[in-house]
Amino acid sequence: MQDRFTFATKLHSTEIARIGVFDSGVGGLTVLQEIYRQLPQESVLYFGDTARVPYGTRSATEILQFTRQTLEWMVAQQVKMAIMACNTSSALALETVRAEYDLPILGVILPGARTAARYGRRIGVIATPATVNSNAYLHAISEANPNAQVWQVACPEFVPIVENNRIAAPETLKIAQDYLQPLLDRSIDTLVYGCTHYPHLEPVFRQFVPPSIQFVNPAVAVVAAAAKELQVLGIQNRLRPLPTEFFVSGDPAQFTHIAAQWLPTVPAVRQISLSNTSVSEPLDIG
Ligand code: DGL
């Protein structure tokens, strides 16, 4: 018979802990959707740093600082794994924080780059300015397939468009065409969403991108990698999954309003402040 001690230990065991998923805003929902599809038995804690979105035009020091603050908080919430559902953090902070935290941490770039390198020879990457400047995709794709040609375009206007719910606005189509035209001119065969916000814009891209061009959403590959990692570590959830918990640093009502269009139910969103979370380096305000 199970005594109270065994039951308490089991309740706090790693298997039933949540997977932490984070992004600067609603972009990580494209990864959450993949978790619902590929890992429906898992419970998730989602954090969107909406008070500080966008990350993609910030310095590497700031991005590392924000990523550390989020991970500190997630560790305190006892997540069993963290998925950095943000390419910008993955490009600029993943390697550093992996060495700092005793937690499996997955980033989106390597899984996305490997998928692209498998399918494409002429690969276009659209991403935030910080991700493009890091050349993280360029290096990862070239390593996976030295014969692949890669072109990158920074699209700073896309994240504000998605966060402010302007996807269907008439000017968005024109902005998207202007960003993607240089890649279409290169006759790309593959287009990588190098920012997790961008799959939300797919209805816009579909209006003018030729159907022969393959879209690569790194969310698919990162969740497949997470599934493998959970299995290897023996920490898959074997009990009933809990409803996803949503937290943001900005306005919960705005997040709820925007996120509801992509989620099966209207999310209950709470606000937290990460500014008091202890971190190892000061912000670079220069
Ligand atoms: N969605 C994130 C990414 O994948 C961050 C975008 C931003 O905040 O600029 O890069």
- Give the model confidence (pLDDT) of 71-122 as tens digits: 999 999 999 999 999 999 999 999 999 999 999 999 999 999 999 999 999 9
Q: Tell me the best of 22, 23, 46, 134 to mutate to test the pocket of ligand 1, counting ligand atoms within 8 Å of each CB and taking the most.
A: 23
CA distances in angstroms from 118 to 44, 84, 106, 180, 214, listed in the order given:
30, 23, 20, 22, 12
Structural domain span for residue 179: 110-218
- Give the model confidence (pLDDT) of 32-66 as tens digits: 999 999 999 999 999 999 999 999 999 999 999 99
pLDDT at 277: 53
Task: Tell me, yes or no, whether 284 lies in a domain.
Answer: no
For residue 104, give the CATH number of its domain. Answer: 3.40.50.1860
> Is the distance from the beta carbon of residue 125 to the nearest atom of ligand 1 less than 6 Å?
no
Domain boundary among 218, 253, 280: 218
Task: Tell me, yes or no, whether 119 lies in a domain.
Answer: yes
Average of pLDDT values for 144-163? 98
Torsion of CA 32, 102, 10, 28, to 10 degrees: -10
In this predicted structure, the answer to whether residue 1 has a pLDDT above a threshold of 80 is no
- Is 103 in the same domain as 130? no
pLDDT at 16: 83
In the chain, beta strands by DSSP E: 19-23, 44-48, 81-84, 105-107, 122-127, 149-154, 190-193, 214-216, 245-248, 269-271
Task: Tell me, yes or no, whether 276 lies in a domain.
Answer: no
Task: Tell me, yes or no, whether 280 lies in a domain.
Answer: no
Domain boundary among 190, 218, 246: 218
Contacts of 145 (CB under 8 A, 6+ apart): 117, 118, 121
pLDDT at 283: 35
In this predicted structure, the answer to whether residue 242 has a pLDDT above a threshold of 60 is yes
- Give the model confidence (pLDDT) of 253-270 as tens digits: 999 999 999 999 999 999
Task: Tell me, yes or no, whether 53 lies in a domain.
Answer: yes
- Is 23 in the same domain as 58? yes
**Ligand 1 mean position, distance from CA 219 (Å):** 13
- Is 121 in the same domain as 178? yes
pLDDT at 15: 73
Among 231, 161, 155, CA closest to 191: 155
Q: Are the C-beta atoms of 269 and 246 separated by less than 8 Å?
A: yes
For residue 88, the ligand 1 atom closest to its alpha carbon is 10
> Is the distance from the beta carbon of residue 114 to the nearest atom of ligand 1 less than 6 Å?
no
Average of pLDDT values for 133-158? 98
Q: Specify the number of domains making up the chain.
A: 2
**Ligand 1 mean position, distance from CA 212 (Å):** 27
- Is 100 in the same domain as 189? no
